[in-house]
Amino acid sequence: MEQINVTIDGIQVSVPKDSTVLDAANAAGIYIPTLCHMPGHKPLGACRVCLVEIEGGRGALQASCSFPATDGMVVRTNTRRVHNARKAVVELMLSAHRQDCNACNRTLNCELQAIAKRLGIRENRFEGEMPKRIEDTSSPAIVRDSSKCILCRRCVEVCQNVQTVGTLFAVDRGFDTVIAPTAKKELAEAVCVACGQCVSACPVGALYEKNHIDRVWDAIADPDKHVIVQTAPAVRVAIGEEFGLPAGSRVTRKMVAGLRRVGFDKVFDTDFTADLTILEEGHEFLNRLTNGGVLPMLTSCSPGWINFIEYFYPELLPNLSTCKSPQQMFGALAKTYYAEKMGVDPSKIYSVSIMPCTAKKLEAGREEMSVVDGLSDVDAVLTTREAAQMMREAGVDFVNLPDEPFDEPLGISTGAAVIFGATGGVMEAALRTVYEVVTGQTLENVNFEAVRGLEGVKEATVKVGDIEAKVAVASGLSNARKLMDLVMEGKADYHFIEIMCCPGGCLGGGGQPIPTTDEIRKARMQAIYAEDEGLPIRKSHDNPAIKALYEEFLGEPNSHKAHKLLHTHYTPKALWPTDVPLDEVKSK
Amino acid sequence: MAFYRAHILVDSGTAAVLKGANAVRNTLIEEIKSRGLDKEIKVVETGALGLAGAVPAIVVYPEGVTYANVTVEDVPEIVEEHLLKGRRVQRLVYKDDTPAVVKAAGSARSAEMRVVLKNIGVIDPTSIDEYIAMSGYEALAKALTAMTPEDVIAEMKASGLNGRGGAGFPTGLKWEFTAKADGDIKYIVCNADEGEPGNFKDRLIMEGDPHQIIEGMVIAAYATGAQKGFIYIRGEYQQSVANTERAIDVAREMGLLGCDIMGSGLNFDIEVFKGAGAYICGEETALLASIEGFRGESRVKPPYPPTHGLFGKPTVINNVETLANVPHIIVNGAQWYSEIGTARSKGTKIFSPCGDVQYPGVYEVPFGSTLREVIFGMAGGIKSGKKFKAVLMGGPSGVLVGEDALDRRLCSEDLNPGAGALIVLDETKCVVDLIRNCAQFFLHESCGQCTPCREGTKRMVELFDWWAAGSGSEQDLMLADQLATTMALTSRCGLGQFAGVAFKSSISLFEDEYLAHLADKSCPAGVCDMDKVEEEVRA
């Protein structure tokens, strides 16, 4: 691309023609504070923090995030006028921001706090009446607190354009503006898939997960409870960030040690049931393929995706695998297989999961997720951030923890399971198993590179015996929508599609450490594949604990018992409150 | 075609209708009929005549006598005396003379020059025949048959016509940007949102002479290669919507809109889009967002609408008055037009003096006329014998000027007229009260997108509320100045950038009055209630 020359604070840089002034400043190594800006997204220019002076401009300062750089442009960022303006804008922002910073879940990881410090704000000239506060705790997954909101609209951008769900947008105007669902409904009444990408995008504490920490502390403190914990694949490559380690640090065994110190009786691995998912889902797929079942089959591990398809593509629910997610398979086994094996009354077992996800909180609360009458399969769901917080509260010195292994048997897993944490991982793990089941031959190269990477939609054709299996993988719901539209139009001849709700897969989930950027996603992804490489067993069907589970308890994949415990069905949801059945609405 | 010995124009503008113009019209028709005069006298509804405070009003032609504040009870007398016996009903005649706006161009006041308003109050706005009889659509015919699109743009550039919505961007240049922009489809959008308080000139044009706008838009479409037009009219302007839509339908029936206009091969059609009352939608990019179905909020500029406008396509956005000037330039030539006005402000400008003037209304004068000529020469000066104090130029987003500005010339070289509102204050008005009122307007209308406008408009109102309640301090003046400066420098669009302009312009002009409020806790004009308890007001 054509290059242009821009001078910023006397430093000349050459940048591509379509750069903004902010891009050019970054290239020149000059820091400009930003709040509403998200790299890779259309600039909004709403917060007005990134102001700069453009020589020859008409007097007003310009928002560097949205102002195009032009050849020969001279920009100043370090002037008294710029300092004063930025400071005044942040003071105005703070004048409508409830500053109970110590009680805020984002304190010390708050972009507004950091900018206020950086700009040297010591007083606020513009204090006055605060906007009316809306605190919405209706959702099982996400809490909204408008008193913290700075109306940067980053959540709106991800909700509308990355996830194409459109739950959140600006309602009312001027000083009364709030970011809310339509007609200022509560989240629980709105169409929200609970993915938590809004939480990830929030620079302040206006959006955060529903707290499950207290109930877990209560359970741990209860001598009658046997408290077990499962950890999702993507947590182990991200939780280190909460303790200052660089993104992509592999801290699986420190995490296990940390959770033991928190006080869990057993530390197990969701990877165990990820392997189990492959067995169940793989056989379901082969069954559909050979017996004329509904294709393409869609994966069902990601609860945000499940919510999405229930709302937006209910016609495609028959395509969805009937397998529960690994979290819920684990929960079901914890209160049956594990209870039996340990000789513990299921009602005494308190089952906790640590997930990179906010939608998992909603999933655990679904009515159908109860295999023992009156008990939830999963009692509490902690995000990666909450798990780290519990460790902090417990006084754990995470960085200096020793390495410890998971408990057996529900802690034994394979490389195929850990890659569930990255987009394409479920597909790759399934192919590793399906190939060997169908051909009876050993798969030498287990790496299916075509389904790896951060690209939104990936496809591949894999020869499995006589079958040319056509597969597709999407992460981020806008990408899922593209594939589903093709399926709806009958233009997709895929056999098997993996969908992950969040961009990059679970490693970029709404429960992961903040921030999550593409750079961070890449680092976490590398760590996931390194974990896979480092494990002795890399195919789910070779997991000895899974073999034992079938021998001792389930029989065979897709057996009657397996169906009862590990499979479920999902139901269409209306996009608007209505008593009219969906079919009727659509026919009108 | 039937011939009538007299025509009666009934002002059916929104304000007049609210005050009973429809009942007056109906009674008039009945009275005329009951006296058997209905074959001799025709009653015609027209748009607002620009007699802001004196409606319902009617004009009787051929005499051109205007009756103001007419009630249903007055109608029999007017019919009996004037129409039957030929004697004027003196007690109802508008300021014992005809308001400038309804006079024929030749007899207008010396300083007034009616180009855009020449048909207003003269023709029946629902009749395309009357428009055509006044040389309507001659400009379009000339453009389509005798000029290339490049000729039209060259003519527009040579005329020196600048936008009349307040910002004053050169119209020809704007058209040229769109003409040169790549786009499979292009749009012409007429900004008829007219939301700035004190402005009511565009309404008058739409209600009284809507074909002028249509003609201007078709010429713009020819010049730029646009296929589709929108007229974005503020929702409250029901009469404007009705008259404009009717004119569009008639023009389409006559082949002046739609496919193959005048056999030239030009395809262009226009749709009226009703705004929902948000001031921000008068900002051009927010207006586009509104048409596209989005929340009315400004968009990032650049890129600008001429290249990236409606639905991302090249789009010309012009104000009503701007477009209404176009046919006159094309017919009479750029040379003629550029001789009117001043070096940098060409042509005429419509002003709408209101507030404490004797004859609020709409007056068209050449650029370069003085403020005094408009306020005292046309609007009759201050009413009730009071003294002049100040004028808010263009509305709440304009500057406040005092007596020393009266002899300044209204043009971009001297005193910028904005969109044309002149909100006049007499000596009994309080500056703090006025500024507080303006601030409240902006607080109400801020879209809430950018920080300085959203929070700044609130803090501004709080400060002025405190001052008007006796809770101000001298330091506040500097604080408010800093706030206004911040908003001007940092806001995302014109709304926030101009929200503090009136205040800033008033500080040095009325410093004593501010200090009286802040230091002495007194309101010299006696308007503000200064006795509120300080703790209650300023928590």
State which of A209, A240, A257 marks the end of a domain: A209
Q: Closest to A60 (Cβ–Cβ): which among B300, B450, B488?
A: B488
pLDDT digits (tens, 9 = 90+) for B395-452: 999 999 999 999 999 999 999 999 999 999 999 999 999 999 999 999 999 999 999 9
Q: Closest to A85 (Cβ–Cβ): which among B457, B459, B489?
A: B489
Contact criterion met (CB below 8 Å) for A538 and A446: yes
State which of A155, A175, A209 marks the end of a domain: A209
B115 lies in some domain: no
B505 lies in some domain: yes
**CATH number for position B362:** 3.10.20.600
Contact criterion met (CB below 8 Å) for B214 and B257: yes
Q: What is the pLDDT of residue A58?
A: 76
Distance CA A288, CA A305 (A): 21
Distance of CA A31 to the CA centre of its chain: 29
Q: What is the pLDDT of residue B532?
A: 73
pLDDT digits (tens, 9 = 90+) for A536-588: 999 999 999 999 999 999 999 999 999 999 999 999 998 866 555 656 655 65
Pull the structure tokens for residue B502: 């009136």
A20 lies in some domain: yes
B472 lies in some domain: yes
B269 with B416, same domain: the answer is no
Pull the structure tokens for residue A289: 């393929």
A584 lies in some domain: no
Distance CA B78, CA B60 (A): 10
A382 with A428, same domain: the answer is yes
A370 with A240, same domain: the answer is yes
A46 with A117, same domain: the answer is no
A393 with A252, same domain: the answer is yes
B122 lies in some domain: no
Q: What is the pLDDT of residue B2?
A: 67
Q: Does the beta-carbon distance from B452 to A92 stay under 8 Å?
A: yes
Contacts of A177 in chain B (CB under 8 A): 447-449, 454
Q: Does the beta-carbon distance from A125 to B482 stay under 8 Å?
A: yes
Distance of CA B512 to the CA centre of its chain: 33
Banded model confidence at residue B538, pLDDT cuts 50, 70, 90: confident
**CATH number for position A118:** 3.30.70.20
Q: What is the pLDDT of residue B46?
A: 81
Position of tokens 């030749």?
B106
Q: Which residues of A are catalytic?
A: 281, 284, 301, 321, 360, 363, 368, 506
Rounded (5°) CA angle A312-A43-A307:
15
**What size, in residues, is chain B?**
539
Banded model confidence at residue B107, pLDDT cuts 50, 70, 90: very low
Q: Is the pLDDT of residue B4 over 90?
A: no
Poorest-pLDDT segment among B42-46, B344-348, B483-487: B42-46
B180 with B294, same domain: the answer is yes
B109 lies in some domain: no
Q: What is the pLDDT along chain A (588 residues), one digit of tens a residue?
A: 899 999 999 999 999 999 999 999 999 999 999 999 999 999 999 999 999 999 998 778 999 999 999 999 999 999 999 999 999 999 999 999 999 999 999 999 999 999 999 999 999 999 999 999 999 999 999 999 999 999 999 999 999 999 999 999 999 999 999 999 988 999 999 999 999 999 999 999 999 999 999 999 999 999 999 999 999 999 999 999 999 999 999 999 999 999 999 999 999 999 999 999 999 999 999 999 999 999 999 999 999 999 999 999 999 999 999 999 999 999 999 999 999 999 999 999 999 999 999 999 999 999 899 999 999 999 999 999 999 999 999 999 999 999 999 999 999 999 999 999 999 999 999 999 999 999 999 999 999 999 999 999 999 999 998 889 999 999 999 999 999 999 999 999 999 999 999 999 999 999 999 999 999 999 999 999 999 999 999 999 999 999 999 999 999 999 999 999 999 999 999 886 655 565 665 565
- The domain total for chain A is 3
Contact criterion met (CB below 8 Å) for A271 and A414: yes
B254 with B304, same domain: the answer is yes
Contact criterion met (CB below 8 Å) for B145 and B331: no
**CATH number for position A12:** 3.10.20.740
Beta bridge partners of A145: A135
A276 with A153, same domain: the answer is no
Contact criterion met (CB below 8 Å) for A192 and A138: no
**CATH number for position B174:** 3.40.50.11540
- The domain total for chain B is 4
CB of B234 less than 8 A from some CB of A: no
Q: Nearest Cα to B280, choosing from B423, B64, B477, B494? A: B494
pLDDT digits (tens, 9 = 90+) for A308-328: 999 999 999 999 999 999 999
Is the pTM for the entire model greater than 0.80? yes
B408 with B285, same domain: the answer is no
A419 with A516, same domain: the answer is yes
Contacts of B289 in chain A (CB under 8 A): none
B314 with B222, same domain: the answer is yes
E strands, A26-67, where?
A: 51-54, 62-63
Task: State whether residue B8 is helix, strand or coil.
Answer: strand
Distance CA B290, CA B232 (A): 9
B408 with B457, same domain: the answer is no
Q: Which residues in A have their CB inside 8 Å of a CB on B?
A: 43-49, 51, 59-61, 63, 66-68, 81, 84-85, 88-89, 92-93, 95-96, 125-126, 128-129, 150-151, 153, 169-170, 172-177
Nearest-neighbour CA in chain A from B42: distance (Å): 48
Q: State the virtual CA torsion across B165, B166, B169, B174 in degrees, nearest 10.
A: -20
Q: What is the pLDDT of residue A59?
A: 78
A247 with A368, same domain: the answer is yes
Distance of CA A26 to the CA centre of its chain: 28
A86 lies in some domain: no
A585 lies in some domain: no
Nearest-neighbour CA in chain B from A195: distance (Å): 25
Domain of residue B274 covers: 128-338
Banded model confidence at residue B360, pLDDT cuts 50, 70, 90: confident
B524 lies in some domain: yes
Pull the structure tokens for residue B324: 């209404």
A193 lies in some domain: yes
Distance CA B158, CA B333 (A): 9
Domain of residue A37 covers: 3-78
Q: Closest to A175 (Cβ–Cβ): which among B295, B454, B483?
A: B454
Q: What is the pLDDT of residue A472?
A: 98
State which of A17, A49, A78 marks the end of a domain: A78
**CATH number for position A224:** 3.40.50.1780
A25 with A130, same domain: the answer is no
Contacts of A45 in chain B (CB under 8 A): 300, 450, 492
B439 with B418, same domain: the answer is no
Q: Does the beta-carbon distance from A49 to B451 stay under 8 Å?
A: yes
B68 lies in some domain: yes
B302 with B174, same domain: the answer is yes
B420 with B518, same domain: the answer is no
Q: Closest to B447 (Cβ–Cβ): which among A81, A93, A174?
A: A174
The mean of the pLDDT values for chain B is 92
A178 with A295, same domain: the answer is no
State which of B370, B403, B426 marks the end of a domain: B426
B406 with B457, same domain: the answer is no
A580 lies in some domain: no
- Cα of first residue to Cα of last residue in chain B, in angstroms, is 73
Banded model confidence at residue B109, pLDDT cuts 50, 70, 90: very low
State which of B392, B426, B460 marks the end of a domain: B426
A71 with A113, same domain: the answer is no
Q: Does the beta-carbon distance from B302 to A68 stay under 8 Å?
A: yes
Q: What is the pLDDT of residue B194?
A: 94
A113 lies in some domain: yes
B231 with B354, same domain: the answer is no
Q: Is the pLDDT of residue B108 over 50?
A: no
Q: Closest to A46 (Cβ–Cβ): which among B450, B457, B462?
A: B450
Banded model confidence at residue B536, pLDDT cuts 50, 70, 90: low
Query: Which of B464, B467, B489 has the highest number of chain A CBs within 10 A, making it the mutation to test binding with A?
Result: B489
Please list the alpha-helical segments (H only) found in B280-430: 284-291, 320-338, 371-372
What's the one-letter identity of residue A503? P
State which of B318, B338, B358 marks the end of a domain: B338
A586 lies in some domain: no
A203 with A220, same domain: the answer is no
What is the radius of gyration, based on Cα positions, of chain B? Answer: 24
pLDDT digits (tens, 9 = 90+) for A246-263: 999 999 999 999 999 999
B390 with B462, same domain: the answer is no
**What size, in residues, is chain A?**
588
Position of tokens 């003096």?
B353
Beta bridge partners of B410: B415
Distance CA B62, CA A24 (A): 69
A434 with A289, same domain: the answer is yes
B 480-519 near A (Cβ less than 8 A): 482-483, 486, 488-492, 497
Report yes or no for ipTM above 0.90. yes
B106 lies in some domain: no
Position of tokens 């009003």?
B57
